[in-house]
Structure 1
Amino acid sequence: MSNRVVVVTGGRGALGAAVVKEALADGLSVASIDHGSGNAPDEAVLEIGGVDLTDPAQASKAIEAVVARFGRIDALLNIAGGFVWQTADDASPAWDRMYALNVKTALNASRAALPHLKTSIEGRIVNVGANGALKSAAGMGAYAASKSGVHRLTESLAEELKSTSITVNAVLPSILDTAQNRADMPDADPAKWVQPADLARVMLFLASPESRAITGALIPVTGRV
């Protein structure tokens, strides 16, 4: 894995930060692309902030900045996204917003990165779907529908790229053990949740050359739930 260049979208979030940390520990060159901005957690990280990945032009500009710094891209980990709990009769439906944050960000980043991934010996795209999108629940319609879109994007893109060395897979986590989730669900047992570092390890395996035999897979990462 050493010397491989990994791009992490949503790198400033809880999962993104865990992936960046684990990737650095593996000796990878890391670029973090995020809507937020600020100092990088490590000077070795190329931090590209203020990027709206729902805009294809901004996604392309950010990816080109990575190539300008490192010369290539070997793996794209699409973590940028969002969540909302909302019933269908809400006065301000979030369906379009969920689609934009979860599907369009992954699509735009992937489209921008593909020309560069095709020049890598072992190109990889790893998306983040959701185990909760396999069977939805009350208030989860908009989010689950958008993550289902990520699942279908993963499968279709994997088929489209089978003639290349690029693989495309997705992880389907259940609840992540984050500060926000603990605040939102104070009565739940976080011991059963998925640690961001554990999910990061699965994603980095899928981003590695060793995962070459896996493509189009939707891999549940559900901890002990």
Structure 2
Amino acid sequence: MADRLKGKTVLITGAAGGLGEAMAQRMAGEGARLALTDIDGGRAEALAARINAAHPGAAFAYAHDVASEDQWADVVARAVADLGGLSVLVNNAGVGGALAMVEDDTAENWQRQYEINLRSVMFGAKHAMPHLRAAAPASIINISSIAGLAAAPGMGAYNATKAGVWMYTKTLALEAAKAGWNVRCNSVHPVFIKTAILDPFVAMAHGDEAKAHERLSRGIPLKRIGEPDDVAWAVVYLASDESKFVTGSEFKIDGGMTAQ
């Protein structure tokens, strides 16, 4: 299929690599015009250039620290000006943190993950919502994690912040629906995906990526870890009008892990 997102204007955070890059490529291929933001502005610009080579004029890029509300206000304003409006927000930027049991954890570890994984989602929704309302039907897609639904030892801050994204998404969905804004809000919950967020697990396997992936896949019924496109296609669906009756939902992309 093509043109599933024709006419959609999309802002994606954390777009320079991994899941964000896959989303950007698939959404551009379906006709969307994109504002790509990342803490690494140079990589975001390089991705925009690659997308524009295939889809002229489809992508703009901005350096963006999602932990800064001032930068959120600026980036949303620039995206609206460059794209002519905003109809989809993808809160994708996020970080992992140190694996730490409770007695070894730190305030700094929690604060960093709170600011980037959770508070940034509120900033994005706050500053994008007036523009999304104006461009309705519109969509907010928040990238959470299976770790927001199922806990694991040593991942307290990550579990907590990703669970916060899950529940905050439901709050947004209800606020928008009850106000009659026609802005749908859903969360996406991947399990292990082949991106840089798995680097700590590869390091624990002494740099043996294949061994690390095999270990991580043991608890997944499909017996493999995911690809970035597994998440990107779900995001395409949620951004499209195909999902016009879907809001307040969580999409598990986990190879059956949470079905057990």
**TM-score in same-fold range (> 0.5):** yes
1:202 aligns with 2:234: yes
Gaps of 5+ in 1: none
Q: Secondary structure at the match of 1:81?
A: coil
For residue 82 of structure 2, give the secondary structure of its aligned residue in structure 1. Answer: helix
Note the residue ranges of structure 2 that are not aligned, 5 or more in a row.
Answer: 53-57, 218-222
Query: Is 2:154 the partner of 1:139?
Result: yes
2: distance between equivalents of 1:126 and 1:180? 20
Percent sequence identity over aligned pairs: 29
Work out the CA distance in 2 between the residues paired with 1:71 and 1:217: 29
The aligned amino acid for 2:244 is R
Match of 1:6 in 2: 10
Q: Deviations over 1:29-49 (max 9, x none)?
A: 011011111133223320111
Which of 59, 64, 75 is equivalent to 2:72?
Answer: 59
> Equivalents in 2 of 1:223, 1:6: separation in Å?
27
Range 76-85 or range 190-199, more displaced:
190-199
Task: Answer with 1 or 2: which has the greater Rg.
Answer: 2
What amino acid maps onto 2:25 in structure 1? K
Q: Distance in 1 between matches of 2:150 and 2:196?
A: 25
Which amino acid in the other structure matches residue 194 of structure 1? G
The normalised TM-score by structure 2 is: 0.81
For the pair 1:74 / 2:71, whether they are aligned, the reply is no
- 1:137-195 C-alpha deviation (Å, 9 max, x unpaired): 11111100000110111010100000211000001110011255263453232661111
Secondary structure at the aligned position of 2:102 is classed as coil
- Per the TM alignment, residue 221 of structure 1 is displaced from its structure 2 partner at its CA by 0.6
Match of 2:220 in 1: none
Q: How far 1:106 moved relative to its partner? A: 1.1
User: Is contact 1:78-1:128 (8 Å) kept?
Assistant: yes
Please give the residue correspondences for 1:72-151 in structure 2 after superposition, counting only pairs within 5 Å.
72-84=85-97, 85-90=99-104, 92-93=106-107, 94-151=109-166
Are 1:167 and 2:184 counterparts? yes
CA–CA distance in structure 2, aligned partners of residues 102 and 179 of structure 1: 16
TM-score (norm 1): 0.94
Question: Which residue pairs with 2:198 in the alignment?
Answer: 181
Instruction: Give the residue type in structure 1 aligned to 2:243.
Output: S
Number of aligned residue pairs: give it.
Answer: 224
Residue from 9, 23, 28 that aligns with 1:24: 28
